[in-house]
Amino acid sequence: MKKILILLLIIFNSVFLWGQISLTGTANYKFTIDGYQGEDPDACGSIYGLRELNLYYNDGSSENLWIGRIWNQNFSHEKLYNKNKKVTGTRSAL
């Protein structure tokens, strides 16, 4: 009886794992960036804040999320992407 129970557990676990591995379809992911941009007293001139934010992808392409000025305020941005075009980095211009 004990051997049959162990055998059934092994078979059940194998079927369950195979079902998880062979799922198909496109998974979408959400890149979220939240923050606060203050005013830098050491900034050069009168240009303050965050000017732009860029995302970089694994295929070498990039995308500008916004261009403008953000200072003394909170900011938030979301971007959906999938496994074929993964986000590999960000870059901001202050």
Q: Which is more confident, 20 or 6?
A: 6
The pLDDT assigned to 1 comes to 72
Q: Which is more confident, 82 or 16?
A: 82
What's the pTM? 0.58
Q: Counting every residue, how long is the chain?
A: 94
Where helices occur in the chain by DSSP H, the ranges are 2-21
| pLDDT tens digit sequence for 16-73 | 544 445 556 677 888 888 888 777 666 555 666 777 888 899 999 999 887 777 778 8
Burial class (CB within 10 angstroms; exposed 0-12, middle 13-18, buried 19+) of 56: middle
